[in-house]
Amino acid sequence: MEKQTAGRKALGDFAPQFAALNDDVLFGEVWAKEDELSPKLRSIATVSALVGKGTAGDALRYHLQTARQHGVTKEEMAALLTHLAFYAGWPNAWAAFPVAKEVYADAADAEGRGGFFGLGEPNDAYAKYFTGQSYLKVLSKPGLV
């Protein structure tokens, strides 16, 4: 997981201690313990907690996007939110579904035409080396290998 800086960017000048706790402790230490909980399971737990609290704003959107990046499929998310409706409240699930639909809007298309990682972007820069249209999907960032 890349170093989190959202807290410092959003609140660094106003609440530097909160920003540091968010970036360094919550995301830098707690989320980084992948040997204890996988990123996918941690994302499912986080989405569940946010839905249970009735949070349907930016925090839920961010964690739904993160869940998707960690491998939670559209079908799994729909099943999770349906399950949570009975334990976290029907209105909370109703509020979460539109956000989840937005986050997963292109999931069927991307997952259906590119496997687990999606199709990628048209690879026009190297078109002369391919017959037909090729696509490029970057899976890692430089320096992370």
Query: What is the model's pLDDT at position 1?
Result: 53
- The H-assigned helical ranges of 6-117 are 6-11, 16-20, 39-52, 58-69, 74-88, 90-103, 107-112
Q: How does pLDDT run across 113-129, given as a tens digit for each residue?
A: 556 566 778 888 888 88
Residue 92 DSSP label: H
Query: What is the model's pLDDT at position 13?
Result: 93
Query: What is the model's pLDDT at position 145?
Result: 53
Residue 72 DSSP label: -
List beta partners, residue 122.
135
CA dihedral over 117, 119, 120, 126, signed as positive or negative: positive
Q: How does pLDDT run across 66-90, given as a tens digit for each residue?
A: 999 999 999 999 999 999 999 999 9
Q: How does pLDDT run across 2-61, given as a tens digit for each residue?
A: 677 888 999 989 999 999 999 999 988 888 888 889 999 999 999 999 999 998 889 999
CA-to-CA distance for 60 and 144, rounded, in angstroms? 27
